Amino acid sequence: MRQVLPILAALLVVQPLPALAQEKPAATATFRIDKARIDRALADMVASGRATGVEALVWKDGREVYFGATGLADREANRPFSRNTLVQIYSMTKPVTGVALMQLWEQGRFGLDDPLSRYLPEFATMLVQDGTDASGQPLWRASKRPVTIRDVLRHTAGFAYGDGPSAAEKAFAAADPLGLDHDLTEFGHRLAHAPLIFEPGSEWRYSSAVDVQALLVEKLSGQKFEDYVREHILQPLGIKEAAWTQPMERLDRFAATYILGADKKLTREADSITRQRNFPKPAMTMGGAGIVAPIDDYMRFARMLLGQGSLDGVRILKPATVRLMATNQLDPRIKERSWLPGKGNVGFGFDFAVRVGQPLTPDEQRGAVGEFFWDGAASTLFWVDPANKLAAVFFVQTKPFQVSLHRDFRKAVYGEAYLGPPGD
């Protein structure tokens, strides 16, 4: 997910001018929504071959200020992207899970700095690598401190998220905790017996921690995770279709996913629509992925966050809890942050990246200090911008993750020169 640097176009002039006159327009702290500019950006995403179809929804100052869709949700069926298209949001599921867990925190069910093992005893002894023996085999020792729930919320626990070069990642892959034939309880047992990839609290690394959050919701609430989310978040917000599983009659509204190859051509992924049609519901309801939603449903979730935990008179979280989730939680001593800096001048809160300063370069994604956001593996994106009373949702189904789509959409919303208010 590394940021791709765009080629900056030279300004055309009739006659030579001083060098300063040829620079980009001066940075701005204000912007206006330009519908035509956003339309052009979405159209270019399709015309340039980076997506078969896209759609976007922007809410500002208490009203919808933009909706646009272009291209095809299913190229082979010639079905256009439309407002009722169902999209796999992948990791945009994670903030929903975080909200569920923080509801239980508000009820006093746990403390943020409690050891995870207080509620999930299988995590009592976690191992980290301590060099290798004479034959090159890894040596393991107990971690210096326990994994805390704060670690689980901010991706500093040390859990892996798939195979990788380290012995701990190899052990994670062998344990296969995220196999969909496991329920969350089995996931927890398998993960707890895989070593950590670093000492808790010492690094930021994207991980399976949000699935641990889902397991905590089940443990603390006594409900199945999916049932809890539906009863305490989705239904109260009037979110009618977003869910981990969809009824058969909605499958023809799914957007197909396309893989952008090295040849710059889009190839249809092995069809998730067919998989849902032919296979039973997986045993695991993941906290880190899995929700399928139309764009208006996800905007209702984003508007609740913009409303400091409330939407249409229904309170999901307290304002202070939303502010806590949207506050950078990374200690300055945490220098190793994997690919997070590629998201811009950001830190990380609880299941959100958080903008902590103005964009540092012309190529960085536009945004305002204090915004919080996340995205999904098929290049979906949402953000909440309290400074401008704005929420935006962008849907597309292109893999691998295409950061250029986000950069172009943000520039279309804010304008290329927008910097927003300064940080602290």
Residue 3 or 122, more confident: 122
Q: What is the pLDDT of residue 423?
A: 72
Burial of 170 (0-12, 13-18, 19+ CB in 10 A): middle
pLDDT in tens, 139-164: 999 999 999 999 999 999 999 999 99
CB 393 within 8 A of CB 68: no
Burial of 63 (0-12, 13-18, 19+ CB in 10 A): exposed
Residue 3 pLDDT grade (very low, low, confident, very high; cuts 50, 70, 90) = very low
Helix (H) or strand (E) holding 267: strand 266-268
CB 59 within 8 A of CB 400: no
Residues belonging to the active site: 91
Residue 208 pLDDT grade (very low, low, confident, very high; cuts 50, 70, 90) = very high
Q: Which one, of 241, 194, 236, 244, lies nearest residue 214 by Cα?
A: 244
Q: Which residues of 283-292 are buried (b: 16+ CB within 10 A; e: fewer)?
A: ebbbbbbbbb
Q: What is the pLDDT of residue 282?
A: 82
Q: What is the pLDDT of residue 333?
A: 94
pLDDT in tens, 346-369: 999 999 999 999 998 888 999 999
Which is the CATH superfamily of the domain at 102-225?
Answer: DD-peptidase/beta-lactamase superfamily (3.40.710.10)
Q: What is the mean pLDDT of residues 208-229?
A: 98
pLDDT at 13 over 80: no
Long-range contacts: 118-123, Cβ < 8 Å, 24+? 119/149, 119/216, 119/219, 119/220, 120/188, 120/192, 120/212, 120/215, 120/216, 120/219, 122/188, 122/189, 122/192, 122/193, 123/147, 123/188, 123/192
DSSP state letter for 418: B
pLDDT at 16 over 90: no
Which is the CATH superfamily of the domain at 19-93+238-414?
Answer: DD-peptidase/beta-lactamase superfamily (3.40.710.10)
pLDDT in tens, 105-121: 999 999 999 999 999 99
pLDDT at 17 over 90: no
Spans of all domains in the chain: 19-93+238-414, 102-225
pLDDT in tens, 19-64: 333 445 566 778 999 999 999 999 999 999 999 999 999 999 999 9
Q: What is the pLDDT of residue 19?
A: 38
Q: CA–CA distance from 362 to each of 27, 252, 358, 388 (Å)?
A: 10, 41, 11, 21
pLDDT in tens, 165-203: 999 999 999 999 999 899 999 999 999 999 999 999 999
pLDDT in tens, 52-83: 999 999 999 999 999 999 999 999 999 999 99
The answer to whether domain 19-93+238-414 and domain 102-225 are alike in fold is yes
> Any bridge partners for residue 314, and if so which?
311
